[in-house]
Amino acid sequence: MGYHQKQQNLSKTLQQDLLPLVLVLRSPSVPPFFFFKSQLQAHFNLLDPLDSSEPTHSFLPRHASSVLALLCVGSTTVSSETLSLLPSVKLVVASSAGIDHIDLQECHRRGIAVTSAGQVFSEDVADFAVGLLIDVLRRVSASDGYVRSGFWVAKGPYPLGLKLGGKRVGILGLGRIGSEVAKRLVAFGCNIAYCSRKEKPFVPYPYYSTVVDLATNSDALILCCSLTKETRHIINRSVMEALGKEGVIINIGRGALIDEKELVKFLVQGRIGGAGLDVHENEPHVPQELFAMENVVLTPHAAVYTP
């Protein structure tokens, strides 16, 4: 390496050292070059434990005094144990809209500010939710597989799908994403109802105070609420029974909103009509019983991912 090249590399290193230090927390399933890393590197010195051969439990304390901000990529857990290794942290930034994977109680106790992607993803997630509903009802993915497998030639026309227009769609969680979903489905001629923590005074859709009542009066449920202690497994046996054997569940919230074992039972037994699942209770693991079901559409927690 020539003298000038060494000087340029040294200059780059010094410039990088002058940038604010941000600790990156990501699970091993998140690639080291996650999609917005290059933009961040222009403004911050990113410190990534998974880029080091040093174990995380020793890596974090070694940098603890200099780390003021922590970037949580995806749904990587930020636990009280992790925070205890970082006594100087003042800010936790989640790249996701949901923050159920962050120990908010511990952050509050220590005066750590927490922020998320907010409404950045709302329109993209709403588009995806509607896409999943159309896919399940019209069996787009299943009929694609039918053609690719040569069955159109061998077996003839594919069975009929179900019409979207006129469907009663219940939205669980009429926040930013839920409102965008409702707006899109109104344009398709669907009848919207919702269930939220509180009735919203200026919303034109019927309100149900319980999920069971919402399911009883819906042909499809779209889950848009956040995951909390109160909403964990909020879609349980009673809700699925109320939805009925023609009903469809779409989940773009969090996997644990649904009692997944019960959902598998209901689908296997034909006690609900279908499901479109972008999120799963034990990601990236998905119950294998769902793989062969043509009335189930599975995606890899991808609703937010557009450029």
- Reported as a pLDDT band with limits 50, 70 and 90, residue 178 is very high
Q: Give dist(CA 67, CA 64) in Å, integer.
A: 6
Q: Cis omega (within 30 of 0) on the bond before 284? A: yes
Q: In what order do the strands lie in the sheet with 113-115?
A: 45-47, 21-25, 69-72, 91-94, 113-115
Encode pLDDT of 24-52 as tens digits: 888 887 776 666 777 888 888 888 888 88
Active site residue 63: no
- DSSP β-ladder status, 91-94 and 69-72: parallel
pLDDT for res 27: 81
pLDDT > 70 fraction of the chain, expressed in percent and rounded: 93
Burial of 54 per CB tally in 10 Å (0-12, 13-18, 19+): exposed
Q: Which residues of 261-276 are buried (b: 16+ CB within 10 A; e: fewer)?
A: ebbbebbeeebbbbbb
Active site residue 262: no
Q: Decide: helix, strand or coil at residue 97.
A: coil
- Please give the CATH topology (third level) of the domain spanning 121-298: Rossmann fold (3.40.50)
One fold for 1-116 and 121-298: yes
Q: What pairs with residue 258 in β-bridges?
A: 235
Encode pLDDT of 199-229 as tens digits: 998 999 999 999 999 999 999 999 999 899 9
Encode pLDDT of 134-156 as tens digits: 999 999 999 999 999 999 999 99
Averaged pLDDT of the chain: 90
> What type of residue is 187?
A
Residue of 139, 254, 280, 281 marked catalytic:
254
CA distances from 69 to 47, 51, 98, 235, 252 (A): 10, 18, 18, 36, 28
Of 22 and 144, which is predicted with more confidence? 144
pTM, entire model: 0.80
Of these ranges, 2-6, 62-66, 269-273, 281-285, the one predicted with the greatest mean pLDDT is 269-273
Active site residue 283: yes
Residue of 106, 123, 241, 283 marked catalytic:
283
Domain boundaries, the chain: 1-116, 121-298
Q: Give dist(CA 196, CA 186) in Å, integer.
A: 19
In CATH terms, 1-116 corresponds, of 3.40.50.300, 1.20.1250.20, 3.40.50.720, 3.20.20.105, to 3.40.50.720
Q: Give dist(CA 180, CA 7) in Å, integer.
A: 52
